[in-house]
Amino acid sequence: MIKAEAKNINFYYGDYHALKDISLSFPEKTVTALIGPSGCGKSTFLRLFNRMNDLIGNIKLEGEVLVDNTDIYAKSTRIDLLRKKVGMVFQKPNPFPKSIFENVAYGMRVNGIRDNNYIEEIVIRSLKQAVLWEEVKDKLKKSAFELSGGQQQRLCIARALAVEPTLILMDEPASALDPISTAKIEELIHELKKDYTIMIVTHNLQQAGRVSDFTAFFYLGELIEINETKKMFINPAKEKTQNYITGRFG
Amino acid sequence: MTGKQIRQSLAFSLFGIITVIVVAFLFVILGFIVIKGFRVISWEFLTAMPKEGMTGGGIFPAIIGTACLVIGSMVFAFPIGVLSGIYIHEYLKDSWFKRFLRMMTNNLAGIPSIVFGLFGMALFVNYLKFGDSILAGSLTLGLLVLPVVIRTTEEALKSVDNSLRTGSLALGATKLQTIRKVVLPVAFPNIITGLILSIGRVSGETAPILFTVAAYFLPKLPTSIFDQVMALPYHLYVLATSGTDMEAARPMAYGTALVLIIIVLLINFLASYLRKYLGKKVKMN
């Protein structure tokens, strides 16, 4: 089953041609790593799937972006419902200045859920899924800012899970974290793969190798190669990929 | 020491001396007013009506009048200013219209306050027939501080980390929900600070109330928003320039000045306290 798909995508910031004729599909319950040097368009590509690029003015998109076989750029798309279905985790942990509990409850509250018993149940479930529950269960009313950076990032993952997305976008989720926190996030990705489809942008090639099933290599706005991660890292098809993963540029 | 280091020490000594001089002037002014004014300050001075051609009695109606004007102008300027600030900063994309609005609010802030007074008289007192009244004075003062409230709201919103906005939107929140539930609570302490600072500004302004509300001598308290009132800054002006016996009224003038300064200073201290206190509270919720 294909969860999400990009068909012949061209994307422009003003005159700048940021993504060039990209077609790529994401099978359900897999992890796909998007790699490539800075400015190659991988983050822009990721943000197509929850329409975060819409927040920037003066952009142009050609081609089709499908999630669950529906064109998410169709006029009839409700962006709030799309973003409920497509969760996102950002590079820098960005908890709200609210309590730990309210951070996770936030997405449900803005989506109109009022039943407090249900909210509490989902908050607990999400914190457990994000492997944070044991560390915070006695201080749910405390400010989220009291948590460490790694804990904050897992809180942001719990927050994303609480609105019950099926596709999760991760934009360098571990790049601001220490190695131990990074390892925890990677373990978490392994767990989440059982239920969710995940796209992860990363600068860390070892990380891509550890967490992903598929890897897509972007360079200067073009998709150079997409393959199973194992094949890609052992025997890349393209010379550019070979050069990048062996550290000859990047 | 090398030449470079000597030049550096000289430069910083100069900056230091200049700074000390500036602060010294502030203390001289404060000291002067305190020394001249503290003798007349008494319970009676603060709570009695003026009497004997304003050479005796107190300044109670002026204090109450200023309080009415502060409250009236804030009721008008705060909601309008904050909503405009939100609209300009959160909703408008960068365009000529946004730059135009910014430029106009800046220009509004630069208009001399006496011009606001004239405009207030023409529009509120005469055209809308409010007469010399608390309503006309409050609206005029409100107009005067509107750009201050708009600018502080914009600055407060600017200091909110953008990642909070994207984080909220990414969870399916609308822009309005994002502003109400995430952005405003964070910006609130700074917005309140702006509000309080504009209260300080309003309580000290004389020109805008000159033709719109201020009474020369009115030893009774207002009963409606269409009444005239005395006000501290105008009362001070009257005592210093046009009383029946100006020499005898001089101590009363210094006393009034001292009360006015104390009120403004207290308001400023309150502003910085609230910013710290609310700032802490926001993080906890």
Choice among B9-18, B24-33, B53-62 with the minimum mean pLDDT: B53-62
Residue with more model confidence, A123 or B278: A123
Cα separation, B280 vs A76, whole angstroms: 43
A68 — pLDDT class (breaks 50, 70, 90): very high
Residues in chain A within 8 Å Cβ distance of B282: 97
- Average of per-residue pLDDT across A128-149: 92
With CA atoms as reference, the chain B residue closest to A160 would be: B171
pLDDT for residue B273: 85
B213 — pLDDT class (breaks 50, 70, 90): confident
Exposure class string for B196-206: b at 16+ Cβ within 10 A, else e: bbbbbbbbbbb
Residue with more model confidence, B216 or A80: A80
- Average of per-residue pLDDT across A52-78: 91
Across chain B, what does the average pLDDT equal?
88
Interface ipTM: 0.90
What fold characterizes domain B43-284? MetI-like fold (1.10.3720)
At B64, is the secondary structure helix, strand, or coil?
A: helix
B144 — pLDDT class (breaks 50, 70, 90): very high
pTM of the model: 0.83
Chain B CB within 8 Å of residue A99 CB: yes
Q: Judge: A106–B168 Cβ closer than 8 Å, yes or no.
A: yes
Instruction: Please say whether the beta carbons of B28 and B20 come within 8 A.
Output: no
Q: What does the pLDDT look like over B147-174, one tens digit per residue?
A: 999 999 999 999 999 999 999 999 999 9
The angle, 0 to 180 degrees and rounded to 10, between the axes of the packed helices B246-284 and B184-204 is: 180
- Average of per-residue pLDDT across A42-55: 92
Q: Which two tokens stand for residue A13?
A: 């910031």
pLDDT for residue A38: 86
pLDDT for residue A250: 56
Nearest to A163 by CA among B177, B173, B161: B173
pLDDT surpasses 70 at B281: no
DSSP track, B232-250: HHHHHHHHHHS-SSHHHHH
Determine phi and psi for B174, rounding to 5 degrees. Answer: -80, 170
pLDDT for residue B243: 66
Chain B CB within 8 Å of residue A97 CB: yes
- Average of per-residue pLDDT across B254-258: 91
- Average of per-residue pLDDT across A113-132: 93
Name residues whose C-beta falls within 8 Å of residue A155's C-beta, 6 or more positions apart in sequence: A93, A95, A100, A103, A104, A127, A130, A132, A136, A144, A147
pLDDT for residue B100: 92
Determine phi and psi for B54, rounding to 5 degrees. Answer: 65, 20
Q: What does the pLDDT look like over B55-74, one tens digit per residue?
A: 677 788 888 889 899 999 99
Chain B CB within 8 Å of residue A247 CB: no
Q: Where do the domains of chain A lie, and which CATH numbers do they carry?
A: 2-245 (3.40.50.300)
* Secondary structure letter of residue A90 according to DSSP: -
pLDDT for residue A100: 96
pLDDT surpasses 90 at B85: yes
pLDDT for residue B247: 76
Residues in chain B within 8 Å Cβ distance of A119: none
Percent of chain A exceeding pLDDT 90 equals 71
Q: What does the pLDDT look like over A3-38, one tens digit per residue?
A: 999 999 999 998 999 999 999 999 999 999 999 998
pLDDT for residue A49: 95
- CA of A38, closest CA in chain B: separation in Å? 20
Instruction: Please say whether the beta carbons of A25 and A63 come within 8 A.
Output: no
B13 — pLDDT class (breaks 50, 70, 90): very high
Report domain extents, chain B: 43-284
* Secondary structure letter of residue B122 according to DSSP: I
Cα separation, B26 vs B159, whole angstroms: 31
pLDDT for residue B55: 67
